[in-house]
Amino acid sequence: MTTQVIDKSLLDAAVKAMPDDRLAGLRREAADRFVSLGFPGTDHEDWKYTNLSDIEALSVAWLKGNPNLQPVSSVTDITDEVRSAIDAHWLLVRDGVADDMLPDIDGIEIERLVDADCSALSADDALSAFNVALLQDGLRIRVEPDAAPDRPLAILNIDSARQRVVQSRLVVELAAGARLELIECALSNGSGSQFTNSVVDVDLENAACLTHTRVQDRHPDHSGIYRLQASLARDANIRHSSFDFGGALSRNDVVTDIKGTGAAVGLNGLYLAGGEQHIDNHTSIIHGVGPATSDEEYRGILTGRAQCVFNGKVIVAEGADGTNSRQSNHNLLLSDRAEIDTKPELEIYADDVKCAHGATVGQLDHAALFYLQSRGLDRDQAKQILTRAFAAGMLSSLSVPACEDFVSARLDRRLAELVDDVDD
Amino acid sequence: MSKMLEIENLKARIAGNEILTGLNLVVSTGEVHAIMGPNGSGKSTLAQVIAGHADYDVTEGSVKFDGNDLLELEPEERAREGIFLGFQYPVEIPGVNNAYLLKAAVNAKRKHVGMDEIDAFEFLKLAREKMALLDMDQSFLNRGVNEGFSGGEKKRNEILQMAMLEPKLAILDETDSGLDIDALKAVANGVNALRHADRAIVLVTHYQRLLDYIEPDFVHVLSKGQIVRSGDKSLALELEEKGYEWVREVANA
Ligand SMILES: Nc1ncnc2c1ncn2[C@@H]1O[C@H](COP(=O)(O)OP(=O)(O)OP(=O)(O)O)[C@@H](O)[C@H]1O
Ligand SMILES: [Mg+2]
């Protein structure tokens, strides 16, 4: 198979075909940047284990087919099901295009990106540039100083199938002292190869506090790249919890940049992978100043031939004294054909620093399995209970009570499928 | 009285080492048996083999339960047939709620005999009743299974599970070890409450002390994987006085 790459003429043609709206100038700039960068290959250290060639081939095929950029995803039963499961102010984004029905909430300004006055959207890395180059729309959420909405804000990103590439963009800005509980659900509508490239920019001003939960439960043919980049001013706080249950290839990059003292970063992730699923979590916590804290824990459950990656980078800059950072990654390997590559990456240039990290890869505890069986539980049930207990550790980190039932229901459903796939 | 557990010439090995070397034992309904013996003689091995631990290979002999071949059953099937093993070292299972396990265990058994699942109210009532009998605080229901329990609390928790499941045959592997005097009495209460003409109890213990509270019908001495001596409760007293060396001498003579 010859490698298929997105060349200039192909991308330019697609960009030119898009409407002449407020994003047009940004698209052209980003297209040029993307062409000079190209999709990262596996020779790139950060992409060593995650091969994007299928995604690129899909993108090429889609671009060649004169993409129809109108949203084709219709509001379906899933939408209603999800919306009724979580008590929140809901926003709907279909195939990257935000619904016009935006909730009116005190202290929050919400606009579609096509309507917003966006002078810049970050497009530094290749995927972000690709995102902006083909961006149709997105959402911008700004919470006013000291405002705190009564209920969480939830975004349902639902993408249709059928050989499609979707760019999704979210800009979140919390002014000083503002608080927000934000939930993102990423789902598919129907089956078929598909690729969604999402970028989320978060800007937290002094003492702003964002609790962000992302649940990805896409169709098995739906691949996604997700990048969240957050900047934290003095005493700002972000707690990000990510749950990857579905999808084909999923790559998450979470970059948090601590720019003010007293800031706190909390990252939690749970990934469940079976079959041929590939889930790659790359996190990067930059302690630019100190004192500040970061606390990170990711857990994975792998069966079948799943492949997962965890790479946790912590950078403590020169002078960032009083940094306190903890990181851990624990994996349950339920099949000997599944594979996990886990790696902490600490770069410490300051003196007064506490950094702890640890990673484990293990199987289900045989003594515990036998114990449960000896109480009359059959082996599959015992496995499921123990696996659930391992995952529950991450569920308890969920700081948005509104989506607890939703997440745990999806978790149970996926676990039941995975445990069927377990070796003995 | 009928034969419940019949073990004949049982040989079992783990990791290539033969631990049980031809063991014979018959336990009938209504009986309480105590098994004593030096460290490493194979008492826990016997208990684990009866419960169906997969790490042990049975190389010879047979084990029948109510006349049926026990060795071909999965551990969970044995449990549902009415065998309960109180572990010498109960396993900690963080993240699994104690009440959840109790309920799942009760339901597994009910399902096996064609009963509906226990309803939440009935379950709680039963659990509270059994906990009162064992002088256990109800907060234990909401903790992870044995998670952070003290040694004695773990043993009480084993007895709680036993009390909830009402097994036909309870094998209690050193359930008395590490218990303070109140806990010992509580555990003995739990065990005595289970005593019934249709049930049987096998106590593995090192101490005469337990047998003051739960009076055995038979006492056996296990040594090097075999039962080398059996007698009534006076054998336990004799052992306490003379030590195992005495049994070995007698056995070798
Ligand atoms: N995995 C193993 N590999 C090798 N030997 C083992 C293994 N597990 C147990 N054994 C051995 O089997 C023997 C019997 O152990 P068992 O636990 O049955 O003794 P016990 O009579 O219960 O002793 P105690 O009174 O100390 O509880 C011991 O010598 C022990 O070391
Ligand atoms: Mg023992």
Dig out the tokens for A4 from the structure: 């298929």
**Angstrom distance (rounded) from CA B205 to CA B222:** 11
- pLDDT tens, per residue, chain B with 253 residues: 799 999 999 999 999 999 999 999 999 999 999 999 999 999 999 999 999 999 999 999 999 999 999 999 999 999 999 999 999 999 999 989 999 999 999 999 999 999 999 999 999 999 999 999 999 999 999 999 999 999 999 999 999 999 999 999 999 999 999 899 999 999 999 999 999 999 999 999 999 899 999 999 999 999 999 999 999 999 998 888 888 887 777 666 5
> Which one, of A250, A249, A179, lies nearest residue A214 by Cα?
A250
Going by C-alpha positions, the residue among B135, B229, B114 that lies closest to residue B182 is: B135
Q: What is the average pLDDT value for chain A, to the nearest integer?
A: 92
CA dist., res. B234 & res. B32, Å (int): 14
B112:A386 CB<8 A:
no
Domain limits for position B104: 3-252
Measured in Å, residue B38 CA sits from the centre of ligand 1 at: 11
Output the pLDDT for position A371: 98
What is the dihedral angle through the alpha carbons of B233, B237, B240, B241, rounded to the nearest 10 degrees? Answer: -150
CB A89 within 8 A of CB A149: yes
Contact A371 B94 (CB under 8 A): no
Q: What is the DSSP letter of A356?
A: E
Task: Please list every residue in chain A whose beta carbon sits closer than 8 Å to the beta carbon of residue B74.
Answer: 373, 378-379
Of A194, A196, A222, A199, nearest to A132 (Cα)? A199
In three-state secondary structure terms, B201 is: strand
* Residues within 8 A of B (CB atoms), A 349-368 only: 365-368
CB-neighbour burial class of residue A74 (10 A; exposed 0-12, middle 13-18, buried 19+)? exposed
- Give the list of residues 6+ apart from residue B122 with CB closer than 8 angstroms, or none: none
CA neighbor of B38 nearest in space, from B249, B245, B188: B245
Interface test with A, best of B96, B158, B173 (most A CBs within 10 A): B96
What spacing in Å lies between the alpha carbon of B41 and ligand 2's midpoint? 8
B113 touches chain A (CB under 8 A): no
- Count how many domains chain B has: 1
Which ipTM did the prediction report? 0.96
State the smallest CA–CA distance between residue A375 and chain B in angstroms.
5
Q: How many Cβ pairs within 8 Å bridge chains A and B? A: 75
- A209-265 pLDDT, tens digit per residue, is 999 999 999 999 999 999 999 999 999 999 999 999 999 999 999 999 999 999 999
Give A72's pLDDT tier (boundaries 50, 70, 90).
low
Q: Tell me the CA–centroid distance for residue B13 and ligand 1, in Å.
A: 10
Backbone angles phi, psi at A87, to 5 degrees: -80, 100
Contacts of B231 (CB under 8 A, 6+ apart): B218, B219, B238
Q: What is the pTM of this model?
A: 0.87
> Residue B87 and residue A371: Cβ atoms within 8 Å?
yes
Burial (CB < 10 A; 0-12, 13-18, 19+), residue A140, is buried
Show which of residues 208-237 on chain B sit within 8 Å of chain A, judged by CB atoms: none
Taking residue B198's Cβ as centre, other Cβ atoms within 10 Å add up to: 10
Identify all chain A residues contacting B75, using CB atoms and an 8 Å cutoff: 370, 373-374
Look at phi and psi of residue B66 and say left if phi exceeds 0, alpha if psi is from -120 to 50, else beta. left
B101 touches chain A (CB under 8 A): yes
Q: Is the CB of B155 under 6 A from ligand 1?
A: no
Structural domains in chain A (count): 1
d(CA A151, CA A148): 9
Is ligand 1 within 6 A of the CB of residue B44? yes
With 0-12 / 13-18 / 19 or more C-beta atoms within 10 angstroms meaning exposed / middle / buried, residue A4 is: middle
Going from the C-alpha of A163 to that of each of A40, A67, A134, A202, A275, the distances in angstroms are 21, 10, 16, 30, 21
Classified as helix, coil or strand, A121 is coil
Q: Which domain holds residue A344?
A: 3-421
Residue among B96, B112, B165 minimizing CB distance to A389: B96
Count CB atoms within 10 A of the CB of residue B60. Answer: 14
Euclidean distance between CA atoms B177 and B180, whole angstroms: 9
Is A194 in contact with A159 (CB distance < 8 Å)?
yes
For residue B181, the domain's CATH number is 3.40.50.300
Is-contact A329 A356, C-beta < 8 A?
no
Residue type, B207: Y
Instruction: Determine if ligand 1 sits within 6 Å of the CB of residue B39.
Output: yes
Dihedral angle computed from the Cα positions of residues B43, B44, B45 and B47, in that order, rounded to the nearest 10 degrees:
90
Partners of A375 on chain B (C-beta within 8 Å) are 79, 101, 104-105, 108, 161, 165
Instruction: Tell me if B94 sits within 8 A of B44, measured CB to CB.
Output: no
Among all chains, which residue has been given the structure tokens 């045989």?
Answer: A366
Minimum Cα–Cα distance from B108: chain A residue: A376
Cα separations (Å) of B146 from A367, B87, B93, B156? 13, 12, 7, 10
